Amino acid sequence: MALMTHSPWWKSAVIYQTYLRSFQDSNGDGIGDIRGIIQRLDYLEWLGIDAIWVTPFYPSPMADFGYDVSDHTNIDPIFGTFSDIDSLIGYLHDRNLKILIDFVAAHTSDRNQWFIESRSSRSHPKRDWYIWKDPSANGEPPNNWLGRFDGLSAWEWDSKTEQYYLHSFLKEQPDINWRSPGARQAMLDVLHFWLQRGVDGIRVDAAYRAYKDLQFRDNPVNPDWHPGMEPSDRLFEVFSKNIPEIHDFNRMLRTLVDQYGDTYGTPNGDRLLIAELYKSLEEIVKHYGVNDEFHLPLNSELMSSDFQWSAESVREVVDRYERLLPEGAWPNWSLGNHDKHRVASRIGTSQAKIAMMLLLTLRGTPTIYYGDELGMEDAWIPSEHIQDPWEKKSPGIGVGRDPERTPMLWDNSANAGFCSELVQPWLPITHNYKNINVQAQKQDSRSFLSLTRALLHLRRRQTALQLGDYISLYSPPELFCYRRFNETSDIVVALNFSSQYQEWVLPVEFRNQSKVLLSTFMDRQGGHLGNTLELRGNEGLIVERNHQS
């Protein structure tokens, strides 16, 4: 008898990112928290996702809203308690849902006890846990590296010990020295701590920044930089991130994670390891290794504000990615996250529905950013309400991340159900919340939310959409059409990226023997097709070939 091949849970899963501060406030302070997620578990289960990714909940001075960690193995009181996180893990598992958490690997807060000790004396045992350097010969910083947020020197002078420390982001976020045995073990112990506590996966923040060039060489100048671009883009970050040795870091984390089975007692190797990387596809795929580095190095192609949204561009990206993937590597897709403007604001609501159908029908593991299931848009942030340090440091060039981080829209009450009407939420509510909210869209069978839920439940029923093969199909320039298939099912997805009517001749096997499973307009389900497929402007269709006896 043939042995069944075990497929890890994350290959067929849909991940849902909850930006913790903005998902649900449970205690009346205008900031989302862990118990707020617990309150909304019924919604997440109803929606049909399989796992949630929770952004940092660790103690933090909030210079970068949780990505400046002062204690990696504790809970910030703003977000809750250990009892709350343990309850969340348990409640999720009771519902057969998984949880992923952030591991902020490249830096800590300057108020982390490790750094306080490190900066106390050149002779302190933790001195080498961070990256300290003497001034250059002329008394300037050690090299020309720039901080990501402000484009100023990435080196901060410490007058007490008369050395500079490195911070790739804010000066309140000193970079960890992963080459230090002590720091390395302490950070690996953090992973053990949370994996033993029951989390199902780890998303490694800024993964490609963990190792720096040993010689600390100057980064090369970008000759194409001009005012109006991000200040830090004046240099190419050749020596300060994604250096060749980063693959040693990747393998070290993978070896650790693979020691753990899943949280239901299955064999080792079922926990998920994701890397945050904003690089070209050609660079991203190197972080799979030979199935010994990250399970899912982030594919960020479709979430870039610079990406030209068209059938031809999307087809090119999908097909190039599929060609580049190493043998056995599994794809992943995202339309947005807490660092990128919302997809509905980038391409419009009509095409955002096309994007959602694309996301949930391509081969690979998709991640949905909270609120995108509603077609939620960026919010306008008045200057007095700006929170994001990146916008404060580099104003007016569009790098601010507050617009995509605003509170989740639950209903049409004054603060959209995110927090009490008597409380001011930490960021403003989007202006159109009275129409774009969960309560209103649940009652509309053709709403964006109804479409997203229908896609999720169709994906769960159709194994070809979860784990099946992919091939792109010839189609007119305004259409992107592809096939998903396995031994039991044969499906075509046809997406119209234009606002005009389009016609497409079906593959021969589908002619006169196929039916519509789902339309983005939510009105053609079950319709039988002849030789051609007719698509209205901005319409996407999922078509199944009739079963052959």
Q: Which residues are tagged catalytic?
A: 205, 276
- Angle at Cα 342 formed by Cα 341 and Cα 347, nearest 5°? 100
DSSP codes, 234-291: GB--SSSSS-TTHHHHHHHHHHHHTT-B-TTSPPB--SEEEE---S-HHHHGGGGTTT
User: What is the chain's alpha carbon radius of gyration, rounded to the nearest angstrom?
Assistant: 24
Q: Given its phi and psi angles, is residue 420 left (phi above 0), alpha (psi -120 to 50 degrees) or beta?
A: beta
159, amino acid identity: S
Torsion of CA 138, 140, 144, 149, to 10 degrees: -170
Phi then psi dihedrals of residue 290, to 5 deg: -110, 65
Which residues lie across from 227 on neighbouring strands?
A: 229
Burial class (CB in 10 A: 0-12, 13-18, 19+), 83: exposed
Helix then strand then coil, in percent of the chain rounded to 5, is 30, 20, 55
Pairing of strands 479-485, 469-473: antiparallel
In sequence order, the 6+-apart residues with CB closer than 8 A to the CB of 138 are: none
Residue 18 CA to residue 372 CA, distance in Å, equals: 11
Provide the edge-to-edge strand list for the sheet that holds 365-369.
296-297, 272-275, 201-205, 98-104, 51-54, 15-18, 365-369, 332-334
Q: CA torsion 465→477→346→102, rounded to 10°?
A: 30
Task: Answer yes or no: are the C-beta atoms of 102 and 52 closer than 8 Å.
Answer: no
Backbone torsion region of residue 265, taken as left when φ is above 0, otherwise alpha when ψ lies between -120 and 50, otherwise beta: left
What residues does 273 pair with on adjacent strands? 202
Cα separation, 448 vs 455, in Å, equals 11
Question: What distance in Å separates the CA atoms of residue 451 and residue 456, rounded to the nearest whole number?
Answer: 9
The answer to whether 419 touches 30, Cβ cutoff 8 Å, is: yes
Q: Where are the beta strands (DSSP E) in 312-461?
A: 332-334, 365-369
476 vs 535: CA distance, rounded Å: 12
Write out the two tokens for 374. 């509603």
Q: Could you tell me if 435 and 409 are in contact, meaning their C-beta atoms sit under 8 angstroms apart? A: no
3-class SS string, 291-349: CCCCCEECCCHHHCCCCCCCHHHHHHHHHHHHHHCCCCCCCEEECCCCCCCCHHHHHCH
Q: Are the C-beta atoms of 543 and 516 separated by less than 8 Å?
A: yes
